[in-house]
Amino acid sequence: MVKKLVFITFLAVLVLVGCSQSINLEEHFSLNGTVEPLDAVNQVGEKVKMSDYEDKVWLSTFIFTNCDTVCSPMTAHIATLQEQLQDEKVDVELVSFSIDPEHDTPEVLKGFAEQFGADFKNWNFLTGYEQAEIESFSNTSFLVPAAKLEGSNQFVHSTSIYLMKGNTILEQYEGVSEVPNEKIVEDIKLLQ
């Protein structure tokens, strides 16, 4: 009888611990935005919609290939993070939105991505929309600027890495210097 009570108590503790492990997204993460619809094509010309990520955990950034400041370091950091995530067998999608769709064709994006050793199995570089669409998408969904600098081929855009679950924006991290890879990996694991 005592063994039975100990066993039942042990099971009850396991159930309670298991229940307490579920994460409250609003308490753990600082953002709660919603990604608007956007139709795009990736670096090999395949159609991609935001609804394709509906049941996935993913990281996103904004870049452009003619960028003469932050885009190359950001992309290099994501490539390093991609390797770390693969080494730890963490399932996540990566998305880099071009904010210069006129110049950044699929071929140009593919060449840019290959310079950093991007693995296209889980990393899409997106283009194929109008300039006004990506600016509105960035401003409305992420609440960050995306605009061409007047008289220049450069753009103002976010330098953050965003953690997403489905169409919800959960967190943003520094994407240029001192990228918190360990924190990003830890947060992704919490969502899986």
**Does 189 or 3 have the greater pLDDT score?**
189
Tens digits of residue pLDDT in 55-88:
999 999 999 999 999 999 999 999 999 999 999 9
The residues that bridge with 148 in the sheet, in sequence order, are: 155
Tens digits of residue pLDDT in 8-47:
444 444 444 444 455 676 688 989 899 999 999 999 999 9
CB contact burial 117-135 (16+ within 10 A = b; e otherwise): ebeeebbbbbbbbeeeebb
118: phi then psi, degrees, rounded to nearest 5: -60, 135
Residue 67 annotated as part of some ligand binding site: yes
Q: What is the CATH architecture of 24-190?
A: 3-Layer(aba) Sandwich (3.40)
- What mean pLDDT is predicted for residues 96-116? 98
Please give the structure tokens belonging to residue 70.
């932050």
Tens digits of residue pLDDT in 111-162:
999 999 999 999 999 999 999 999 999 999 999 988 888 888 889 999 999 9
Mention every residue, 6+ apart, whose C-beta is less than 8 A from residue 13.
Answer: none
Give CA angle at 141 (33, 118), nearest 5°. 100
Residue 19 annotated as part of some ligand binding site: no
Residue 71 annotated as part of some ligand binding site: yes
